[in-house]
C-alpha cells in the first residue's frame, strides 16, 4: 500500500471515527437503501476492505455495503465485529495487526513464535466466537533471511496453531504482497512460495490470500496462476495496477476475465475490493467496481 494509506493507520482511524461520531447524517446517501442483492448475479460473493473507506463512520459504511449488495466487510478488529453483525455482514477476513505484529514482523522469525502463538490463539477464539471463518497472517520481512529458511520458520511456527485453528474451524490465511512497490523486503511475495508453505504445513486450515493487485505487480499471469493453484487460495483482494485505484479501464488488469476464472474454479468465498478511491464519492466508486467484478 502507499505509505500514507497503511491498513494499520486506516483501521485505527476508522475505529476512532466510529466511536466519536454519534449523530452525523448518513454518508451512505449515494447508495439507495432499497437496492439489494437482487442487482447482483450471485456468482461472486462480494466484500470490501474497511480501511479504504476510513473517513466514513463504520455504521454508515456497513449500511452502504449492505445496500449495494455486499455480503461482507474485510479487515475488521474484534471491537468492530458487533457493528458488522448489526447490519448482517460477515467479516470476509479478520485483521491481525496491532502494536506488536504487522506485515514486517511475522512468522518467519523463530523468536516471534511464542508470542505469536499466544496472540493467534486469542484471535482464533475471537474470530470463531463471532462466527467468522478467516484470519489473516503475514510472513514478515526477509531482513537477509533466505526464502527457504524463511519458509521453514513460518511452517514451524504456524504448525503450532493449526490444530487449534482446525478445532475452531478458522482458516489462517497468509497474504501474498508485492515487495517491489509497496512492501519492500516482504517474504511471501510470490504465489509459488506461498503454495510451497501451504504444502509444508499440510492443513486445510492454512491457505493464501491472493491479492490480484500485488501479484499482478510481482508476477503477472494472474488467470493461469489462479487456475493452477486455486485449492490453496481462501480469499481474494482487488486493486488497480498501477496505483491501487479504481479497477477500471485506466489500469492494466481486466477484472471481468479474472473473475470468470475465479468462478470457473468453483470458488465460493469472498472477493473483496481493496482499492484506494480517487473519486470524491468513494461509495459510488466502490459500487461501480463491484459491478465490474459481478460476472
How many structural domains compose the chain?
1
CA distance linking residue 200 with residue 94, whole number of Å: 24
CA distance linking residue 178 with residue 219, whole number of Å: 9
Phi, psi of 160 (to 5 degrees): -70, -20
**pLDDT recorded at residue 27:** 40
User: pLDDT per residue over 142-151, tens digit each?
Assistant: 999 999 999 9
Q: For residue 111, what are the domain limits?
A: 3-16+28-293
Report if residue 126 sits inside a domain.
yes
Report if residue 135 sits inside a domain.
yes
Report if residue 21 sits inside a domain.
no
Provide CB contacts within 8 A for 76, sequence distance 6+.
11, 50, 84, 91, 94, 95
Report if residue 203 sits inside a domain.
yes
- Look up the CATH number of the domain holding residue 268: 3.20.20.150
- Average pLDDT, whole number, for the chain? 90
Dihedral Cα 228, 255, 209, 109, nearest 10 deg: 100
Query: Structure pTM?
Result: 0.88
CA distance linking residue 179 with residue 182, whole number of Å: 6
**pLDDT recorded at residue 29:** 40
CA distance linking residue 63 with residue 65, whole number of Å: 6
Report if residue 23 sits inside a domain.
no
User: pLDDT per residue over 120-144, tens digit each?
Assistant: 999 999 999 999 999 999 999 999 9
Amino acid at each position: 500500500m502507499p505509505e500514507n494509506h497503511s491498513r494499520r493507520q486506516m483501521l485505527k482511524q476508522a475505529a476512532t471515527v466510529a466511536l466519536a461520531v454519534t449523530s452525523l447524517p448518513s454518508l451512505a446517501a449515494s447508495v439507495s437503501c432499497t437496492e439489494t442483492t437482487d442487482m447482483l448475479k450471485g456468482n461472486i460473493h462480494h466484500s470490501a476492505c474497511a480501511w479504504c473507506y476510513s473517513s466514513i463512520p463504520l455504521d454508515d459504511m456497513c449500511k452502504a455495503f449492505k445496500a449495494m449488495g455486499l455480503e461482507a466487510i474485510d479487515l475488521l478488529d474484534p471491537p468492530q465485529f458487533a457493528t458488522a453483525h448489526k447490519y448482517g455482514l460477515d467479516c470476509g477476513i479478520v485483521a491481525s495487526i496491532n502494536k506488536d505484529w504487522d506485515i514486517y514482523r511475522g512468522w518467519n522469525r523463530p523468536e516471534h513464535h511464542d508470542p505469536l502463538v499466544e496472540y493467534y490463539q486469542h484471535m482464533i477464539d475471537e474470530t470463531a466466537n463471532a462466527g467468522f471463518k478467516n484470519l489473516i497472517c503475514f510472513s514478515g520481512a526477509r531482513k537477509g533471511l533466505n526464502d527457504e529458511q524463511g519458509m521453514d520458520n513460518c511452517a514451524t511456527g504456524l504448525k503450532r496453531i493449526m490444530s487449534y485453528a482446525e478445532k475452531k474451524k478458522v482458516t489462517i490465511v497468509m497474504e501474498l504482497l508485492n515487495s517491489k512497490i509497496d512492501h519492500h523486503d516482504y517474504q511471501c511475495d510470490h504465489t509459488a512460495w506461498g503454495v510451497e508453505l501451504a504444502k509444508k504445513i499440510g492443513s486445510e486450515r492454512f491457505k493464501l490470500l491472493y491479492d490480484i493487485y500485488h501479484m499482478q505487480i510481482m508476477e503477472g499471469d494472474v488467470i493461469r496462476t489462479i487456475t493452477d493453484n486455486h485449492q490453496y487460495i481462501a480469499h481474494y483482494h482487488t486493486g488497480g495496477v498501477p496505483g491501487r485505484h479504481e479497477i477500471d479501464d485506466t489500469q492494466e488488469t481486466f477484472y471481468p476475465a479474472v473473475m470468470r476464472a475465479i468462478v470457473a474454479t468453483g470458488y465460493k468465498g469472498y472477493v473483496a475490493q481493496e482499492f484506494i478511491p480517487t473519486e470524491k464519492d468513494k461509495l459510488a466508486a466502490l459500487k461501480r467496481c463491484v459491478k465490474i467484478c459481478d460476472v
